[in-house]
Structure 1
Amino acid sequence: MPFVIYVLGLAVFAQGTSEFMLSGLLPDIADSLNVSVATAGSLTSAFAIGIAVGAPLVALLGRRWPRRVALPAFLVTFELMHVLGATTSSFPVLLITRLIAALANAGFIAVALTTVTAMVDENSKGRATSVLLSGVTVSLIAGVPLGALIGAHWGWRAVFWTVAAISIPPTIAILRAVPADTTQPSERSTRHELHALTRPGPVVLLLLGALVNGATFCTLTYLAPVITDLTALSASWIPAALVAFGIGAFTGVTIAGRLADTRPTQLLAGGTTVLAVGWLLFAMNPTDPTTTFVFVFIQGVFSFAVGSTLLSQVLYKAADAPTLAGGFSVAALNVGTVIGPILGGLTLNTALGYRAPILVSAALTCTALLLGTATLARKPIHTLITGGPTAEEARGGPSPTSRRSSERH
């Protein structure tokens, strides 16, 4: 992998820390700004909305932007929004800063995906994507728990300052590491790329991504009160739970990096099944500390293994949309990130309490499993969930049909 991909992953680490850090800060933010925990949870939804809207929008508007200029510009905007968020005492202002920071995050991810996939060979998109997304998982292992510890000792504002500070080194590194000539404008029209993205294969993948990511964030957003209210552990255990999820997520991305290019169907079908069963079992027994930490780890593994594979498969199946596929993939994942916490928040006042978001996660994943199963029933075996050519065909090998034809002759 080119060194610049790891530099971009470092920037994604800072952005991932910002995106996920609220899981451990919601109670503190709610108390500080005099809002409910459910209202504070809308900060997560606001960030996801900004990414969902911003990713395709920036991908459309920035088709010919120089990447060496766009990437650091997005990061600087991201940093400034965190400085403003750290200094405000108004919840609406904080909400707006999250939206703008998310737009900058979306623009960065959309351009970064285009950059990394353009810098590797045609058969390594899954691996390049996993390296980029490993920054997110490392943020779960190190950045988010560290943020929770900083928040516990110095308050949530100190965490915002920290995120702004750790975004500066990758900004400087990108200016030095991204070559000035990396811009590769697409010769295809916007209409052509949009048409490629609306074929059945990519559409199913995007829908699956929204559902799986919605399930992940539905529970992750309310993980702090799950740990303290249901598992009856002290708040000091929240960082440990986030570390367990982060280690699982890193493991999942690593698995996807090894298998997403060669066995995507098996990984998607098996991983989604494990996720559906895991959420149901977790909801049945969230009070035992050992069980809770085991499920947090397992769900982290398969949530990110499936999510990363879905993203890379969109890049494969929508190869005719090289500048828009990444942006729309990120948008789809974050549509789920919006839906999940909202649905979870709506169920908090039921008799199930904080158990309800876990059941919502189970329902969303079961829906994804049903959609995948329905697709399986309609498609030939080599298209399955992805609705496109096999990995062998993508690498230029013979299709099953051509092999059968050659055998007959």
Structure 2
Amino acid sequence: MISTVITISVRRLLHNPVELLLTFVVPVVFFSVFALIFGSGIGIGRTPKVKVAIATTDHNDSSRSLAEALADSDGLRVLAIENGDKTQGKKKHPVQQDINRVTDAVRKGTVAIGILIGRDKSGSLKAELLTDASDQVAPQVVSAIVSREIAIAEARFAQMNGESLLVRKPSVEHPSADNSEGSEVERATSRDSDVGDRMLPTESVSIIDVMSDGKSNPVVSLYAAGIAVMFLLFGASGGGGVLLEERENTTLDRLLSSQLTMDQLLLGKWFYLTLLGFVQVTVMFLWGQIVFGIDLLGHLDGFIMMTLVTSGAAAAFGLFLATLCKTRGQLNGLSVIMILTMSALGGSMVPRYVMSEKMREMGLWTFNAWALDGYDKVFWRELPVESLWPQLAVLMGCGVAFLLVARALAVRWEFN
């Protein structure tokens, strides 16, 4: 009898495409997504090139040489900040003279790190890193690169002045030799690679957070936005599935036989799902303000604009999935794959700063990324609402496109 139960279960699985999809396809899809994210980023010991802007606090030749050395580093992508915050690629002399412009570029998210190069009172090279605390990887990467380049620059400066560098390294080649051969020895060297491998003084590089000072728990608002967008999509797909249930129990036929048109039905569903999503996200952020100290009231105008447009786009996406599928089971399987994939690529599940450049570009094909960029501008960067127009335009365009496609797909219900 046990074998009979197993046989029945296997046959049921083989004749259920949705269950097969969720059992075998979904794990492979998500393994592939996260392998692409971490396989080309921090997971293999490499990080994407960090966008930085460099400025010197003096006109010393050594500071400028250090800036040019950083521009040639494989881990950095140095941008020249021009008027209007337009950026250009790496130049031969990417040094900025306006420190305030570099600071503004960090605040607006144009670059991840601003590097200010100068000398301290003793004449040693130093660097200040202007950082954005929402990116927890870039400061560590840039700090290591800058520290190494400072050590190399100081070594070259010492050699030019006829000084010798003492590098202590343990000798492990002859463990049976006498103490003079087996102990640590002092050797003078002129090789930059040896200098770069030394233990570097941390006082040569200081990290300054230019974003989170004076703010009330803004990082939590970013996490809340990521979770909110993902659950908006799940809620909208579930609400759109009501259309399929009404189709299966003939309620849809009775509705269409009245004076109600398909256009009115879809718009009514869309308005309901949009308002429901707006209330859902508002409740989440209100809870965040009460419990976690999110400054919702201080960013109310930007929050309302982003949440309304994002909820509308998610509602249209839910209706598109519902009209695309024939049964509720198909909708459940398809929505899980699409929503979780979009959430992973768009930043709702994995921070986008750990992704490679190509993965970030792929994420722009999801409106998760655009929505999170909008919330980032509102709560983290505190930019004016006028700066939200790219995100609002893309999300509204997505909403209109999904509604039009859903209306075209719903034609079959009218004729059936």
TM over 0.5: no
Higher relative contact order (CA 8 A, sep 6+): 1
Larger-Rg structure: 2
Between structures 1 and 2, the one with greater strand share: 2
Which structure's residues are more often helix, by fraction?
1
